[in-house]
RNA sequence: GUGAGAGUAGCUCAGUCGGUAGAGCAUCGGACUGUGGCUCCGACGGUCGCGGGUUCGAACCCCGUCUCUCACCCCA
């Protein structure tokens, strides 16, 4: 037997109904906020991610599916989607100084990691990006949209964790201040934190080591080292979110794993996800487009881990989605009933009723049993008697009741 | 890349001291040729993840390997 590749999985019915509903909801909500869909290739030039996500990041360093294609080009299965969206906009000349682009996407991403709860090698993200707007109001509106989406899925009690990581100009000074503060404590650090201290001291703020956590409250904070413009941006965002009643937490130690973030960064965590508890993450990336050779264009976006989202989806939304697929089973009792069954199916479908046509053969008993297992809630039976009377028997498979209905009234009966 | 646990029928699992494998559910057939879910009877179904070793003999012990689960790392 050939199994699926490690860390990938098949999504099968009825679970795919839930995924479909989540994606439909995203499409609706995002459209209400003026976002349009964008689809970019799964395969991108390796250089795209090296330049944007950052050569020193774990994603680029050890998690990418990178290979040389038959033409000798180094290509990579995208580990995230923001770089691809930015690349596409630059390539097609769609970023102009004056224009604002609001886009969303949904699709598979790939990272070569050891699978565990909430983490797969192929995973799906639903994300949105705003390019061409640098103001705090844009950040706020993006988060408003995000919470509108989460709210429609039925999530309650979620809050967004917020921080500012400053800019390329003010961050180095902070990093040095942090390093200077942490170095005296190197003696109590394990190998992981020593490596972080050397390569990327910001990551030490994320440590899980209790001995190191102990000294973090005294560490310098990024918010105290922001340049005046970044500070003003941060404070304006907090005020706007308060006004909009978006639940947020200021998280001075929040850092992100992608190099391209500037100023605003955020994430939402959720219970029930195990150790990988980040449901979504995002932030501002004011240098990304220019780093790709485009005009200087600010941007901000988020990416939701769809696998994780579905994993902790509120029960009511899940149940509604599962119940949303319930075609009417149309049973031709004898082979002679097939022509009229086909014609009737066509009429019902034209009226917007989902019809699952059962093959004649094993008798109505077997057909009804099979229909119930497929999730049909109602069945329409057609046999010689009905054919002669111009009627059909409509059976409620849940209530176990039935009624004989004139075929001319069937559409109205089934819709009513 | 590191660590821990697990892999037996389609699914959930049992399998004693090492003696050539079982249950429930599901599936199929029958009781029941125009009305399902309950019940009863029967059948189908396994290279015990894979490979090697120890042994007269391995689902069971040993080694390797693959996959899954969880955690580290990292992130969505």
**Do residues A364 and A414 lie in contact, with contact meaning Cβ atoms separated by under 8 Å?**
no
Q: Is there a single domain that holds both residue A106 and residue A145?
A: yes
What are the φ/ψ torsions at residue A148 (nearest 5 degrees)?
-60, -45
Could you give phi then psi for residue A178, rounded to 5 degrees? Answer: -65, -45
Is residue A315 domain-shared with residue A331, that is, in the same domain? no
Question: Would residue A375 be called left, alpha or beta, if left means φ above 0 and alpha means ψ between -120 and 50 degrees?
Answer: left
When pLDDT is cut at 50, 70 and 90, the band that residue A109 belongs to is: very high
pLDDT at A360: 63
Q: Is residue A4 part of a domain?
A: no
A209 part of a folded domain = no
Residues A150 and A262 in one domain: yes
| Nucleotide nearest to A404 in CA–C1' terms | B35
Domain that holds residue A306: 15-170+226-319
Q: How far is the CA of A369 from the C1' of B32 (A)?
A: 14
C1' of B17 to CA of A3 (Å): 37
In a domain, A40, yes or no: yes
Q: Which runs of consecutive H residues, i.e. helices, occur in A244-293?
A: 288-291
What is the predicted pLDDT for the residue at A361? 63
Q: Are A52 and A100 in the same domain? A: yes
Gap from A365 CA to B32 C1', Å: 10
Mean pLDDT, chain A, rounded, equals: 92
Q: What is the pLDDT of residues A319-347, one digit of tens each?
A: 899 888 889 999 888 888 888 899 999 99
Q: How far is the CA of A306 from the C1' of B76 (A)?
A: 8
Mean pLDDT of A269-275: 91
Q: Does the complex come out with an ipTM higher than 0.85?
A: yes
Q: Are A215 and A187 in contact (CB under 8 A)?
A: no
pLDDT in tens, A59-77: 998 899 999 999 999 999 9
Could you say which of A293, A319, A345 is where a domain stops? Answer: A319
One domain, residues A331 and A314: no
Same domain for A67 and A45, yes or no, is yes
pLDDT digits (tens, 9 = 90+) for A185-235: 988 888 888 988 988 888 898 888 888 888 998 899 998 999 999 999 999
What is the DSSP secondary structure assignment for residue A273, as one 8-state letter? S
3-state SS, residue A373: helix
* Predicted confidence (pLDDT) at residue A317 exceeds the cutoff of 90: yes
Tell me, what CATH number does A309's domain have?
3.30.930.10
The DSSP 8-state label assigned to residue A403 in this structure reads E
Which is higher by pLDDT, A188 or A27? A27
Instruction: List, for residues A360-378, the tens digit of each pLDDT value.
Output: 667 788 888 888 888 888 9
Confidence class for position A2, pLDDT limits 50, 70, 90: confident
Q: Residue A402's beta-bridge partner residues?
A: A395
B chain positions with any atom within 7 Å of a protein CB: 1-3, 27, 29, 32-37, 66-76
């Amino acid at each position: 037997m050939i199994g699926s590749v490690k860390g990938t999985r098949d999504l099968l019915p009825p679970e795919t109904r839930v995924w479909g509903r989540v994606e439909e909801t995203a499409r609706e909500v995002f459209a209400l906020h003026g976002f349009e869909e964008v689809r970019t290739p799964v395969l991108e030039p390796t250089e795209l991610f090296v330049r944007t996500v950052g050569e020193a990041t774990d994603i680029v360093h050890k998690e990418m599916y990178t290979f040389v294609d038959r033409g000798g080009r180094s290509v990579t299965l995208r580990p995230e989607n923001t770089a691809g969206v930015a690349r596409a906009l630059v390539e097609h000349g769609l970023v102009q100084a004056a224009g604002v682009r609001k886009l969303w996407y949904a699709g598979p991403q790939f990272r070569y990691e050891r699978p565990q709860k909430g983490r797969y090698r192929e995973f799906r993200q639903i994300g949105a990006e705003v390019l061409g707007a640098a103001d705090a109001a844009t950040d706020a509106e993006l988060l408003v949209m995000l919470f509108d989406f989460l709210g429609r899925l039925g999530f309650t009690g979620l809050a967004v964790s917020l921080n500012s990581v400053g800019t390329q100009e003010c961050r180095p000074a902070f990093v040095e201040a942090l390093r200077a503060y942490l170095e005296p404590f190197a003696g109590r650090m394990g190998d992981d934190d020593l490596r972080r201290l050397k390569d990327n001291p910001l990551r030490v703020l994320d440590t899980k080591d209790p001995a190191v956590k102990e000294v973090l409250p005294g560490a310098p904070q990024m918010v105290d080292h922001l340049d005046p413009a970044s500070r003003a941006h941060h404070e304006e965002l907090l005020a706007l979110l308060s006004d909009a009643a978006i639940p947020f937490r200021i998280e001075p130690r929040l850092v992100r794993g992608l190099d391209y973030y500037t100023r605003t960064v955020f994430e939402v965590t959720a219970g029930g996800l195990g150790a990988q508890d980040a449901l979504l993450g995002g932030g501002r990336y004011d240098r990304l487009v220019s780093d790709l050779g485009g005009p200087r264009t600010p941007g901000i976006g988020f990416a939701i881990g769809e696998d994780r989202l579905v994993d902790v989806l509120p029960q009511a939304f899940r149940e509604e989605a599962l119940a949303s697929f319930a075609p009417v089973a149309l049973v031709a009792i004898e082979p002679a009933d097939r022509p009229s069954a086909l014609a009737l199916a066509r009429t019902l479908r034209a009226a917007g009723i989902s019809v699952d046509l059962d093959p004649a053969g094993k008798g109505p008993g077997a057909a009804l049993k099979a229909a119930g297992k497929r999730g049909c809630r109602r069945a329409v039976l057609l046999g010689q008697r009905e054919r002669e009377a111009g009627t059909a028997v409509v059976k409620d498979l849940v209530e176990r009741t039935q009624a004989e209905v004139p075929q001319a009234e069937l559409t109205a009966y089934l819709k009513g």
